[in-house]
Amino acid sequence: MKALKIGEHTILPGETKKIELPVAKLYTDADVHLPVYIVRGRRDGPTMFVSAAVHGDELNGIEIIRRLINLKGFKITAGTLIAVPMVNVYGVVNLSRYMPDRRDLNRCFPGSAKGSLAGRVANIFLTEIVQHCDYGIDLHTGAIHRSNLPQIRADLSDDETLELAKEFGVPVILNSNVLDGSLRQSAVANDTRVLLYEAGEALRLDEFSIRAGIRGVVNVLRHLKMMPKRRVRKKAVNYFIANNSGWVRASASGIVSHHFKLGDQVKKGQILADIGSPYGEPLGEVTANKGGVIIGKQNIPLVQEGEAMYHIAYFKEDDEEIAEHIESIEEQLVEKIQDNEALL
């Protein structure tokens, strides 16, 4: 097993090291660094990154990584884990999705060492982190005022990626093509297989999403034989694959009364929400145009006509069975688990 070199740092087999990669300077001449935590086993194995806050206001992933590396009993015995809790450090500092140049970092890959600020950060992350990795898990949340049900998005046409998505262990797996300029697109070009975990809402910590994320990362590490297997065989989580999804949009501008929540089953033609005026006059209804399960939802009770309100995943399986299973998983993770160590 060879030494790993990231930036000016060398990490040996069996070593755990916290490093900082220089990114740029603030206007104040203060240095900004990319925080990186590396854990190496003593035996050969794959290298995997786990990243969070590519969008700076998406905080659940930061908490997932923070708890993961501090779990009692957490140990990498083979291969290497590279954890990056804050990719967009600028965005985290400013509680913003974007970089200071107003660019979406997840549309700026592969970037350039001499490009825009966002392009430089993308280039550093790609060349110093992703190029070393066989696998990756990129942690995200919904945008501001929007929540996502815990779900894995991945290119399911690749058999190994599909297997990893199943092993992660959340009920909903969504087939998702890579977007131009995204981290996933550049990772695929590097022959790095990546899962994108979506859960929760920007600028909020969601316990269900965090616990599901920790357990998912651990499941993948165990599947790749980077961590020891459980002494007691875990009960497998049933997964449901959605090959398609769509947004239902507001039919009018006004004040919203929601009738459904994340994880609920909806049927074609069902009224999902009512929209009214400030005087209580009915202005419109939001109706499901196809049956499925709600995997994303707008939270703010104010809406403009045409605004996306409900993200619905379409399955071949029984939607009612899926909705019931999602509810049981939430109870297991939030109510029955008393401490984070139980996630191991």
Task: Please tell me the pTM assigned to this model.
Answer: 0.94
Task: Tell me the pLDDT band of 158, cut-offs 50, 70 and 90.
Answer: very high
pLDDT exceeds 90 at position 63: yes
Task: Mean pLDDT check: name the lowest of 39-48, 71-80, 105-114, 324-333.
Answer: 324-333
The β-bridge partners of 86 are none
- Rounded Cα distance, 331 and 157, in Å: 32
Task: Tell me the pLDDT band of 112, cut-offs 50, 70 and 90.
Answer: very high
pLDDT exceeds 60 at position 341: no
Work out whether strand 31-40 and strand 78-84 pair parallel, antiparallel, or are unpaired: antiparallel
What would the mean pLDDT of 191-208 be, rounded to a whole number? 97
pLDDT computed for residue 230 by the predictor: 78
pLDDT, averaged across the chain:
92
Task: Mean pLDDT check: name the lowest of 37-41, 95-99, 243-247.
Answer: 243-247
What would the mean pLDDT of 38-54 be, rounded to a whole number? 98
Structure-token pair, residue 67: 């708890």
pLDDT computed for residue 132 by the predictor: 98
pLDDT computed for residue 327 by the predictor: 72
Task: Mean pLDDT check: name the lowest of 62-66, 173-177, 208-212, 230-234.
Answer: 230-234
3-state secondary structure the chain: CCCEEECCEEECCCCEEEEEEEEEECCCCCEEEEEEEEEECCEEEEEEEEEECCCCCCCHHHHHHHHHCCCCCCCCCEEEEEEECCCCHHHHHHCCCCCCCCCCHHHCCCCCCCCCHHHHHHHHHHHHCHHHCCEEEEEECCCCCEEEEEEEEECCCCHHHHHHHHHHCCCEEEECCCCCCCHHHHHHHCCCEEEEEEEEECCCCCHHHHHHHHHHHHHHHHHCCCCCCCCCCCCCCCCEEECEEEEEECCCCEEEEECCCCCCEECCCCEEEEEECCCCCEEEEEECCCCEEEEEEECCCEECCCCEEEEEEECCCCHHHHHHHHHHHHHHHHHHCCCHHHHC
CA 134, chain centre distance (Å)? 18
Task: Mean pLDDT check: name the lowest of 15-29, 33-47, 185-199.
Answer: 15-29
Determine the Cα angle at 163 with ends 72 and 6, to 5°. Answer: 55
Domains of the chain: 4-223 (3.40.630.10), 245-323 (2.40.50.100)
pLDDT exceeds 80 at position 55: yes
What would the mean pLDDT of 42-57 be, rounded to a whole number? 98
pLDDT exceeds 80 at position 331: no
State how far the alpha carbon of 3 is from the alpha carbons of 9, 80, 146, 227, 275, in Å: 10, 11, 43, 20, 60
Task: Tell me the pLDDT band of 235, cut-offs 50, 70 and 90.
Answer: low
Assess contact for 85 and 66: CB atoms under 8 A. yes
- Rounded Cα distance, 165 and 174, in Å: 9
What would the mean pLDDT of 147-162 be, rounded to a whole number? 96
pLDDT computed for residue 25 by the predictor: 81
What would the mean pLDDT of 204-233 be, rounded to a whole number? 92
pLDDT exceeds 60 at position 299: yes
Structure-token pair, residue 78: 């083979």
pLDDT computed for residue 326 by the predictor: 74
